Amino acid sequence: MDGVIDKVLAQSNESLAENENSTSTRIPSTPEGMALAYCSLIIMAILPIFFGSYRSVKHHKEQKKAFEAGGEKPETMSQKDAAMFPLISSVALFGLYIFFQIFSKEYINLLLTGYFFFLGILALCHLTSPIISSLVPAAIPKTQYHIHFTEGEGDKVESIIDYKFNLHDIVCLICCSMIGAWYLFQKHWIANNLFGIAFAINAVELLHLNNIVTGCILLGGLFVYDIFWVFGTNVMVTVAKSFEAPIKLVFPQDMLEQGFSAKNFAMLGLGDIVVPGIFIALLLRFDHSLSRRSNTYFYSTFFAYFMGLLTTMLIMHLFNHAQPALLYLVPACLGTPLLVALIKGDIKTLFLYEDHPSNPTNDEKIVTPLIENSTQLDKSKRKGKVIAKTAEDNDSQVCMKKDQ
């Protein structure tokens, strides 16, 4: 055990020495180059949140229709999942750090490159399929294909693969595979960013928080997680620099001097985009549930995220040290909707909102019996009126017979 610890410490010192040597050989960044890099990172961060949020609204409607048709409730992140997420992320992060210290990072990155190669192609296909399909010439027909693998016989048949596609999807797969090959062999930063943006948009679209409380727990936990692993240790920075995978967006600070072959990168982790992004997407769905003309909660929190990210870049530049972006993004993203709800009087409505309600709220539990009771009273009154009217008619008929 002591030998393993000594080996970890020795390789840690070697990695620090390599970082110092690489830093000394970097071409100094100009103020213009740094400004270009920071502005590009901010733009690449806010666009996936904006488009992913609107795509999440469409996906939410599709989920509701599927639930109404088949009765299968969509999977969403529970409050327990949100509370456990920072702990699981910490274990995974430290595990990667140990792996990079013990094993050769070339072999680890080789495995990760192969994994993200296929994952990135699928993410790009899901994102660009409608666009490429509209650009495909009409000469290529939309011939439908269906792959269906089952297991078992008779009543015990289980579907393993059930996938439908057409020729346009194959064209899309070929185009995305070319970008994947570019990333696989060149590891170019543009290919990395294309994969990263695709991951971010898909995550904001498909990962749904069910309610505001779950979002507050998740962001609050990751707020502490980010501060600890950035300020408390060098683990996150070391892993981010060693991890050659599209889990971060990068942009060269020396692009004006070196062009597309620049090497001095500024970076932003996808977690700093996706985590606030799924919360902002929840606020857009909440806005739509209110059926108001303006998406006040979405746009105000989206602007707060932009300001928080801008603050992160400025402080990182002033102190020349890596910053935990969630330190500035979480207060902005949590404080803004709460302040807006307080001003508009929507606090109760905001916290009662659920994408997919599991149980009726207290208000619904109170209101529903009242409605049922009032309906029964109306029915009994109508029935009483009918009986009274029938009795009156019978009396009038008896009187007429007596007169006759």
254, 272, 346, 355: the active-site residue: 272
Using CA atoms, how far apart are residues 88 and 99, in angstroms rounded to an integer?
16
Q: Is 226 marked active-site?
A: yes
Using CA atoms, how far apart are residues 322 and 317, in angstroms rounded to an integer?
9
How far, rounded to the nearest angstrom, does the alpha carbon of residue 67 sit from its chain's CA centroid?
21
Using CA atoms, how far apart are residues 118 and 244, in angstroms rounded to an integer?
15
Instruction: Provide the phi-psi class of 77: left if phi over 0, else alpha when psi is between -120 and 50, else beta.
Output: beta
Beta bridge partners of 165: 145
Using CA atoms, how far apart are residues 202 and 125, in angstroms rounded to an integer?
11
Q: Is residue 120 a contact partner of residue 198, using CB atoms and an 8 Å limit?
A: yes
Q: Is residue 35 a contact partner of residue 260, using CB atoms and an 8 Å limit?
A: no
Q: Is residue 144 a contact partner of residue 164, using CB atoms and an 8 Å limit?
A: yes
Q: Is 403 marked active-site?
A: no
Write the burial class of residue 10 (CB in 10 Å: 0-12 exposed, 13-18 middle, 19+ buried). exposed
Write the burial class of residue 274 (CB in 10 Å: 0-12 exposed, 13-18 middle, 19+ buried). buried
Q: Which residues contact 80 (CB under 8 A, 6 or more apart)?
A: none
Using CA atoms, how far apart are residues 23 and 169, in angstroms rounded to an integer?
44
CA distances from 401 to 22, 137, 394, 395 (A): 116, 89, 11, 10
Using CA atoms, how far apart are residues 207 and 165, in angstroms rounded to an integer?
24
Which pair of tokens denotes residue 367? Answer: 């209101």
Nearest Cα to 276, choosing from 341, 323, 209, 347?
Answer: 209
DSSP letters along 219-244, please? HHHHHHHHHIIIII-SHHHHHHHH--
Q: Which helix (H) or strand (E) holds 351?
A: helix 347-352
Residue 41, CA atoms < 13 Å, CB-side half-sphere? 27
Using CA atoms, how far apart are residues 269 and 324, in angstroms rounded to an integer?
10
169, 226, 346, 355: the active-site residue: 226
Residues with a known catalytic role:
226, 272
